[in-house]
Structure 1
Amino acid sequence: MITLAAALAATSLAATPGHAGEPAAAAAPGTRADARPAAAPRPVTLPTGERVRLGPDGELAGIDSPRGQEEGGGAVITERVDGHVYVIPLEAAARVEHGEWDREQFDVTRLSGLDPRRPAPAQRYAPTDEEAHTLTLSALDRSGTPDAEAVLDAYNLDTAEHVHLDFSDEGVATGEVPAGRYLLTAMTGLVEGTTAIAMQVEALDVHGDEEVAFDAREAEAVDVSVFDAEAEPTSLTIGVQYATGESLGLYSHDQSHVTLYTQGEGLELPGNELTAAISATWGLGSTPAYNAEYTRAGSFFTGFEHRVERSELAELQIRQGSPVAGRRRVLQIDSEHSALVEGPVDSLTRTDTVYVTGNTAWRYTLWDIAPDGSEEATYSSPVQVHEPGTVTRRTINTGVYGPGYSRPAHMLGRLGDELYGDVSLFADGQDHAGGPYDTEGTTILYQDGEELAALGNSLQDGIRVHGLPPQEETYRLVTTARRLDGAPVSTEVSASFEFTSAAAADGAAHELPLSVIRFTPDLALDSTAPAGRRLRVPVLVDGAAADAGVASLSVEVSFDRGETWENAPVENGAITVHNPPAGGSVSLRAELTDADGLTTTVTIKDAYLTR
């Protein structure tokens, strides 16, 4: 049975210190340092042949199926448990259910190299014989036939745990459960070549033995269309999310081959215990043009019919660059609840116009792909709600690439004696988080001027250092990252961050107060600027210094890749650079001291080139 693992409390990076990984370079005595897996996870090929990609934040980013829609390709079950994403194609669901395939073969978070270190799971409640009740679940498919391959799940709303169910060959599930409130879910029609899939959700108060028989014939169709007759349907996602952040749902690449049905009659829960979502997308050529999502708090959909009108939508104009000629791209749009909304591979250095509904928060992600198909870099926007009727213009994957303030997705934190987290050292000129896959570097942590730990990777890939003293001390974190992907700009980024830190009196995790310096000139999509001209380069300060105040800020510029430097006065928040002849390189270096006397520096070799 495709049941969910024991429920664990959902945590952000600020509450989950670091991730499991192999030890990095030797640490100083009295400390322990570990390298976290790279921020850009590797693609995963499932046993069924699907190729799955995750974004830098671990969310599902793309699925490529080796089969067409008529052969059952593209339809998958997605689950999110304890920070891990599971992707199970429909054709594999029965084999996983009957134990022929290990469910862990479909844990794409673990297989991609992103394996978040988990807090201790909540203790599973084991009822005594006197208080145990037998819960029996079964399901009929849309034809009225008992579905031996149905996905059946029972979730205890009181303890935030999934019930262990035993399954008969006929697909009947039974489990011993304590009295309490339960959310029951049935998914039927999960077989290869299916044309009708149903998802039904029901709430049940258990005070004795209970039998629940789902009948998919009672579910109603989901039909979401869009006003643009030229747009082609590309995906439909239906799912539920529990208060813990776990989710369970269905995803189909193409609405034209599989009809999804839903039922949630009489389901009324507190809004914080359940969120249901239906997401639909349509494409125009290679652009994921229209993206709509509709949610309900505390209930589930019984069918859904809606035509998306232009008045519901916000417009996003997304300029996409690349510092390397010949690169291609995948642009994808996703929301908090949708699995993914992805356009096909197409040429880079272009502008796409996409539309999103204004009732939910959306994010766009760009995958920078080499001519041989290898994925070289990934950049993502923050999650943001856009008001209907508004127009937002953004540029992604264009310099100057350097340290970004991409919290909470990328940040440093402390828990007890441990420092953990990462900094996006190659954030793009508009502070999109991410960066190249192929980098190398180092990180050194100093405490009051003495080396405390040395690691064989940069902050781009993340760190963990143990053994920090409990009292407040002053620390300096020095890191360098070098690109190995052949990109000619921001070939090396170095930064140092000075901060004070002590273990929290209540033992809680907390974010460390870092400052970053960013350069944001108006560059072409290939990260170049006109030769021989003056260029205004804005200098921005984010993070702790932006709040506490900047005591001093100095900037230098180099035209020989850092061999020599000359001062560049900061006037009205910017410096002026006299660009060298065509083919030249401009490197930038800055140092700031905040009102508390703490210093931050950044050096970007080959910040941009001239043409």
Structure 2
Amino acid sequence: MTIPSAPRRSVLRALAVSVALVGGAIPASGTAASAEPPGTYTLTINHLDRAGRATADYLTGVHGLSGPNAGKSVKPHDASGTTTVRLPRGRYALDSALHKSEPADGVDWIVQPRLDLDRDTTVTVDARTTAAVDVRPPDPAAKLYVGMMLAEITHNGVTHHPNVSTGGAELRVAHLGPAAEPGSVRQWFDGHWEAGKGVYSLGYAFTGDRALTGLTRHPARRDLATVRVGAAATPGTSGYANVFVTPSAGPTVGYGGTVKTPGTATHFVTPERGTWDFMYATRDASGATARRYHADGVRVRAGETTSLTFDNAVFGPDLTGRPGAVREGRRISVDLPLLADGEGHTSVERAPDETVSFTLHRDGVPVAPEASAPGRAAFTVPPGRAAHRLTGTARRTGAPGTATRVTSVWTFASATTAGPTPLPLSAVRFSPGLSLTGTAPAGTALRIPVTVQGAAANGRTRSLTVSTSTDGGATWTRLPVTRGAVTFRNPPADTGVSLRAELTDTDGNTLTQTTVDAYRTR
């Protein structure tokens, strides 16, 4: 089996490790042959340490891949170093972690991906066959936070994920036994190191018919990609946030650390591991999670820098990857974040000071909601075609700051549908260059890019107007939209600037979107 692994991104994704209990295993000793079920065989496993001596310091798992024990596991152990167990005929995978009582003495992990049990069989797990996992970042002062070696062994539709982790002890690994089928063994190593200049996350993946015997990787800085995570300081947060990073592919271990807000966390990652997932969590004054964002599948390239900023203005509706509302028959379902941050990241949690609600009118008559959740609602409307007005409102009632109120009003015609049909909603994104406190310099001209999403995107906008307010939305001033942006001269310091967009698409559907205190001046 394995040394217990460090938790991978406890709020990111749970490690999918096979831990099925024993099924169909029969102790080999003290059992009369006449009482043994037919088609079972004795498996004897010898365990030897780095000096070639029998050892009791091991964790061994035998995992069924085919036959009666497919998907089941047994963990035999005997203090003599030799253990026996009777198992039904079938294909198994075996892995064994040999270790001293002190973790600092190191771990030898041996994986046999193919063990065909069709007769009495003896296997020797020998630590002297292993080779070092020598993976390290270019900064010699970096300290290992956690590392994990994980295998994925697949046969006959059954998959097993043995793994071993290390927090700094020497890790040595080896393949044992015959080769399995081509491509049936995947294996990867992921490690995370902390350094003064940032966090190094190095990952390497392999596919073949054998487990790894040793691994050496010493990447230079030019071999790595840089991801800079901007941590905004929004009103009501505590002055620090949590950043978690993990490879997108495969169950594995991730890194979790803190960053001061406003501030920047720098991560160096290996592009060959594929895309990377980032999770960002703000904390309120009590230290509890206020908002939690995900940026999954971030693509990186060696030598290049990618920037991600979380929890910064301008907050507002976002339709990236979603229609916002769908009608199926008489039912209208709404799934639309109203407080996506300036880069479109959507919080999967609602802060205590936030309220979000949706209302629907059909031909001017309110429709009672039948279900409601943050960012979601459902309504059942009478059959037939009618004019609809959907209103979404989000409020922040805590410390005054950015996006104290966001309101979107959509109008559209809709009739009963035969199946799920997206409704023609649009959204407008404002993207000014702001500091990590959601502010812009007072008295300066600020260019604010304007992007249309949804039904009115890609040339389907008939009209679009943008207005600003510096008195909380009491009065508005219209600005011309030129080449996808408006330009606004900022008011005196510590003033909230509100933004409003009004558009009509080419089919006559409309949107009025208002963000009170979209950003502030400093």
What residue number does 1:28 align with? none
User: Residues of 2 paired with 1:175 and 1:445: CA distance?
Assistant: 63
User: Residues of 2 paired with 1:295 and 1:577: CA distance?
Assistant: 50
Residues 215/526 of structure 1: CA separation in 2 closer, same or farther (3 Å cut): same
User: Residues of 2 paired with 1:313 and 1:59: CA distance?
Assistant: 24
What residue number does 1:363 align with? 277
CA deviations over 1:297-342 (Å, ceiling 9, x no partner):
3454222111112231123344332124761133333211442123
- Once the two structures are TM-superposed, the CA of residue 407 in structure 1 deviates from its matched residue by 3.6
CA deviations over 1:513-543 (Å, ceiling 9, x no partner):
7643211111111001122333221111234
Confirm or deny that 1:79 pairs with 2:16: yes
User: Residue 148 of structure 1 contacts residue 172 of structure 1 at CA under 8 Å; is this kept in 2?
Assistant: no
Confirm or deny that 1:307 pairs with 2:222: no
- Once the two structures are TM-superposed, the CA of residue 416 in structure 1 deviates from its matched residue by 9.6
User: Residues of 2 paired with 1:447 and 1:141: CA distance?
Assistant: 76
Residue 473 (structure 2) aligned to one of 550, 562, 565: 562
Confirm or deny that 1:282 pairs with 2:193: yes
SS of 2:218's equivalent?
strand
SS of 1:546's equivalent?
coil
After TM superposition, the score normalised by the length of structure 2 is: 0.74
Task: Please give the residue correspondences for 1:25-424 in structure 2 after superposition, counting only pairs within 5 Å.
Answer: 54-55=10-11, 58-59=12-13, 78-79=15-16, 140=47, 142=49, 144-145=54-55, 149-155=59-65, 163-165=71-73, 170=78, 185-187=95-97, 189=99, 193=103, 195-204=105-114, 208=118, 213=123, 215=125, 217=127, 218-240=129-151, 249-252=163-166, 254-255=167-168, 257-259=169-171, 261-263=173-175, 267=179, 269=181, 271=183, 275-285=186-196, 287-288=198-199, 290-299=200-209, 300-324=211-235, 327-336=239-248, 337=250, 338-343=252-257, 345-359=258-272, 360-370=274-284, 372-407=286-321, 422-424=335-337
Residue 342 (structure 2) aligned to one of 429, 436, 449: 429
Confirm or deny that 1:482 pairs with 2:395: yes
- Once the two structures are TM-superposed, the CA of residue 361 in structure 1 deviates from its matched residue by 1.1
- Once the two structures are TM-superposed, the CA of residue 295 in structure 1 deviates from its matched residue by 0.9
User: Residues of 1 paired with 2:108 and 2:316: CA distance?
Assistant: 47
User: Residue 147 of structure 2 contacts residue 192 of structure 2 at CA under 8 Å; is this kept in 1?
Assistant: yes
User: Residue 323 of structure 1 contacts residue 487 of structure 1 at CA under 8 Å; is this kept in 2?
Assistant: no
- Once the two structures are TM-superposed, the CA of residue 571 in structure 1 deviates from its matched residue by 2.2
Paired residue type of 2:205? T
User: Residues of 1 paired with 2:416 and 2:42: CA distance?
Assistant: 50
- Once the two structures are TM-superposed, the CA of residue 588 in structure 1 deviates from its matched residue by 1.9
Paired residue type of 2:63? D
Greater radius of gyration (CA): 2
User: Residue 314 of structure 2 contacts residue 341 of structure 2 at CA under 8 Å; is this kept in 1?
Assistant: yes
- What is the aligned length? 489
User: Residues of 2 paired with 1:502 and 1:174: CA distance?
Assistant: 63
Residues 493/304 of structure 1: CA separation in 2 closer, same or farther (3 Å cut): same
What residue number does 2:374 align with? 458
Residues 168/248 of structure 1: CA separation in 2 closer, same or farther (3 Å cut): closer
Higher-RCO chain (CA-CA 8 Å, sequence separation at least 6): 1
Residues 513/205 of structure 1: CA separation in 2 closer, same or farther (3 Å cut): farther
Residues 566/213 of structure 1: CA separation in 2 closer, same or farther (3 Å cut): farther
What residue number does 1:27 align with? none
- Once the two structures are TM-superposed, the CA of residue 579 in structure 1 deviates from its matched residue by 2.6
User: Residue 8 of structure 2 contacts residue 255 of structure 2 at CA under 8 Å; is this kept in 1?
Assistant: no
CA deviations over 1:68-109 (Å, ceiling 9, x no partner):
xxxxxxxxxx3268xxxxxxxxxxx9xx979xxxxxxxxxxx
Confirm or deny that 1:594 pairs with 2:501: no
Residues 371/197 of structure 1: CA separation in 2 closer, same or farther (3 Å cut): farther
Paired residue type of 2:466? V
SS of 1:604's equivalent?
strand
Q: Percent identity?
A: 25
Paired residue type of 2:231? Q
Q: Which runs of 5+ in 1 are unaligned?
A: 3-47, 61-77, 82-92, 99-129
Residues 208/310 of structure 1: CA separation in 2 closer, same or farther (3 Å cut): same
- Give the number of the structure whose residues are more often strand, by fraction: 2
User: Residues of 2 paired with 1:602 and 1:453: CA distance?
Assistant: 22
User: Residue 79 of structure 1 contacts residue 246 of structure 1 at CA under 8 Å; is this kept in 2?
Assistant: no
